[in-house]
Chain A
Amino acid sequence: GAGVSQSPSNKVTEKGKDVELRCDPISGHTALYWYRQRLGQGLEFLIYFQGNSAPDKSGLPSDRFSAERTGESVSTLTIQRTQQEDSAVYLCASSFTGTGRGQPQHFGDGTRLSIL
């Protein structure tokens, strides 16, 4: 399909382990976003990539969280030394350009992360 693809769809790991989540955006989309969604809650912005510009990391909750994106392709979100509070669904979205002009965001189905 041509949608945003995230992997894995589910991840269960022990507290203290590192995890890496992957997002494949829609081809041609220059903007990529990561969000966190706790159970029953809305979306919490984490980080935003736009082309080759410096990413907006203002939403990352701690230095245990980091993300990378190679050009306008795949992005990985890494959480080091996971804590139980990190349990959530991590959603990735991409858009044709930044959404300052009302461009829609296209979301993947998320990675459900459970920390034991």
Chain B
Amino acid sequence: TQLLEQSPQFLSIQEGENLTVYCNSSSVFSSLQWYRQEPGEGPVLLVTVVTGGEVKKLKRLTFQFGDARKDSSLHITAAQPGDTGLYLCAGAQEGFQKLVFGTGTRLLVSP
């Protein structure tokens, strides 16, 4: 059973466009992390959100944790080719010591 579903699975856009990636679950998470993975490398942490309703901004990236702590979104403004990669959300559940990773969203930004 996949606890964290991401949508869309794949997104191909032109440089300068905006996009949103969603991470949804029926389970509650104590915290949620977003990672980006580039080809041939391991995932790298972008942000951690821990409070329901929390919004964090990292330059052109905006992350939001749902009020009920069951979902999250990642919005990228004016996408650039350097944003290309696999975006993974990952949730930590209270009392559990391992992360549950989402299904992943593969983003391709063309010049």
Contact = CB atoms under 8 A, between A and B. Distances in A.
Contacts of B42: 4, 91, 93, 107-110
Nearest to B50: A102
Interface residues of B, number: 29
A99 B100 CA distance: 10
B109 interface: no
Nearest to A31: B97
B45 A104 contact: yes
A24 B6 CA distance: 31
A100 B43 contact: no
Contacts of B86: 42
Interface string B47-63: 01010000000000000
B89 to A, nearest CB: 10
Given A41-B104, A42-B88, A43-B88, A99 B41 contact: no
A99 B31 CA distance: 9
B97 A98 contact: yes
A43 to B, nearest CB: 4
Contacts of B96: 100
Contact of B92 (A41, A43, A93, A102): A102
Given A101-B92, A102-B50, A104-B48, A109 B40 contact: yes
A48 interface: yes
Given A102-B33, A109-B41, A43 B101 contact: yes
Contact of A100 (B6, B94, B101, B102): B94
A40 interface: yes
Residue picked from B6, B41, B97, most chain A C-beta under 10 Å: B97
Nearest to A3: B42
Interface in B30-46: 30-31, 33, 40-45
Contacts of A101: 30-31, 92
Interface of A: 4, 31, 33, 35, 40-43, 45, 48, 50, 56, 91, 93, 98-102, 104-110
